Amino acid sequence: MQQPRINKSSPYVCLVIACLLFRGVSNGQIKKQIEGVNFNINFQILYDFLLQAVQSQKKCLLYKFLHIVLFLSSSAYSTVSGVNGPLVILDNVKFPRYAEIVHLTLPDGTKRSGQVLEVVGTKAVVQVFEGTSGIDAKKTACEFTGDILRTPVSEDMLGRVFNGSGKPIDRGPTVLAEDYLDIMGQPINPQCRIYPEEMIQTGISAIDAMNSIARGQKIPIFSAAGLPHNEIAAQICRQAGLVQKSKDVMDYSADNFAIVFAAMGVNMETARFFKSDFEENGSMDNVCLFLNLANDPTIERIITPRLALTTAEYLAYQCEKHVLVILTDMSSYAEALREVSAAREEVPGRRGFPGYMYTDLATIYERAGRVEGRNGSITQIPILTMPNDDITHPIPDLTGYITEGQVYVDRQLHNRQIYPPINVLPSLSRLMKSAIGEGMTRKDHADVSNQLYACYAIGKDVQAMKAVVGEEALTSDDLLYLEFLQKFEKNFIAQGPYDNRTVFETLDIGWQLLRIFPKEMLKRIPQSTLAEFYPRESAMHTVL
């Protein structure tokens, strides 16, 4: 009996091909059955894949492929009913799906991409990444791809510069993709996560000694407008490496260390600063830049950090590199999120930000870490500017709940010409305890850090008391703490932007400051450690 012809508009054409394959129908006969069907891919590729899936009985492979090619016959619509901010509303769409990618063609032929945010019956709300400026509701055509947003990834992306949508802007060739990955990332089984235990050395004393960063940690920098957080981020990129078990050796090997840098809402001056800094110090070959400028569409900032993290995941888990991801400025990202929420007329939360901002930020921050069976790791250092220097603002507040500490950039220190102006008292690294100590940095690291914290905190109290009662009313111990406070900020926290201190040099500077006090006042350091490191001669020559 002659087989019926398949209607060109049938969405089940691939399923029919699979059924014919199960019945043993040959390639040529199947080709006749689907004559007239307009595929966007080569028929032979489709046939070979389905044949492999059928012969190997891999149903999951078959179902996955059917899901992708179910709507290979293009579905184009000219039913734009309205434009609201970064959103486009379409009516009479057949089977729209959440998170589906949509290609929009403007009257002048310009192509833009968007993603389905909401589906109500045959109505779809599409978020346009390049902005909705110039979209004509009557003349704009929309094509539904039937797929989610994927980005091409390759090890060749290192040394390249991309815009916020992942397109090259360095006049280089198109990246030859080794894989196409979902920008939302793959879910990681918590049981497969490895606890971060090895320290990343930044060369900055206030971070390395007081708030050590472990490989696989997520620790933000809380800054504010006008503070040198960009310079600090660039210095970390220049100097970051893995601590080795020798006082003079640090692993800067290009084979196992890479940096993914994503900038959101930055001005041209900032973008040029980072690019030129990476090129001048020779680290550009190990850096992948994603730049969303202030004049780029705001909505593009929603996908920029996800593109960067997808690239980082590929480099870490497939190429087995230790990747440092720096995201700046997360405040611009949160404001873009608020803009989309307002356009969708959702019920606002604190300060107008959406109620789901905590969950949304977690989908970015929680992509840091290490995975069992893979040598690579992802360490995140997001940078955010606190509006009005307010640490209780929803953006730093929610970020602090998710991340494992924070590095606080202080305006008062900056006004006193101290660089980097890192205030160690509100700063914190929750994973520091597992990344330092004997065998990793030095056995006195934790004790020195605790004692420096205690002395600095007491020194701050003495400074406040001095403003009230005057220096004459202070005791001899108070004067020692006051001297320590001044030297700690001048010699320990302050360092040049190109001053790269090893963690061992930093600890030696810490001991020099602690010798201001007699041994009896250093109550947070065990006697055995004091006996070994407190004398000047011993401390200067001790190695790991």
pLDDT tens for each residue of the chain, 544 residues long: 333 333 333 334 555 555 555 455 555 555 555 444 444 444 555 556 566 655 665 555 555 555 545 444 446 778 788 888 889 999 988 888 888 999 999 988 889 999 999 998 889 999 998 888 888 888 888 888 888 889 999 999 999 999 999 999 988 888 888 999 999 988 788 899 999 888 889 999 999 999 999 999 999 999 999 999 999 989 998 888 877 655 444 444 445 889 999 999 998 898 899 889 988 888 888 899 999 999 988 889 999 999 999 999 999 999 999 999 999 889 999 999 999 999 888 899 999 999 999 999 999 999 999 999 888 999 999 999 999 999 999 999 999 999 999 999 999 999 999 999 999 999 999 999 999 988 889 999 999 999 999 999 999 999 999 999 988 899 999 999 999 999 999 999 999 999 999 999 999 999 999 999 999 999 999 999 999 998 854 444 443 3
DSSP character at residue 319: S
CB contact at 8 A, 243 and 199: yes
- Is 37 strand, coil or helix? coil
Helix extents (H) in 182-329: 205-208, 229-239, 268-280, 304-317
Comparing CA positions, the residue from 464, 513, 458, 515 lying closest to residue 205 is 513
> What is the Cα–Cα distance from 203 to 505, expressed in whole angstroms?
10
Q: What are the phi and psi torsion angles at 504 (to 5°)?
A: -70, -40
Element (H, E) at 426: strand 422-429
Comparing CA positions, the residue from 36, 40, 38, 33 lying closest to residue 16 is 33
**First-last CA distance in the chain:** 84
- Tokens describing residue 86: 């970064």
1: Cβ contacts below 8 Å, ≥ 6 apart = none
- Tokens describing residue 58: 């891999």
> What is the Cα–Cα distance from 243 to 240, expressed in whole angstroms?
9
Domains of the chain: 13-69 (no CATH), 75-150 (2.40.30.20), 200-432 (3.40.50.12240), 445-541 (no CATH)
> What is the Cα–Cα distance from 338 to 22, expressed in whole angstroms?
51
CB contact at 8 A, 315 and 260: yes
Beta-ladder partners of 369: 378
Comparing CA positions, the residue from 399, 259, 230, 262 lying closest to residue 327 is 262
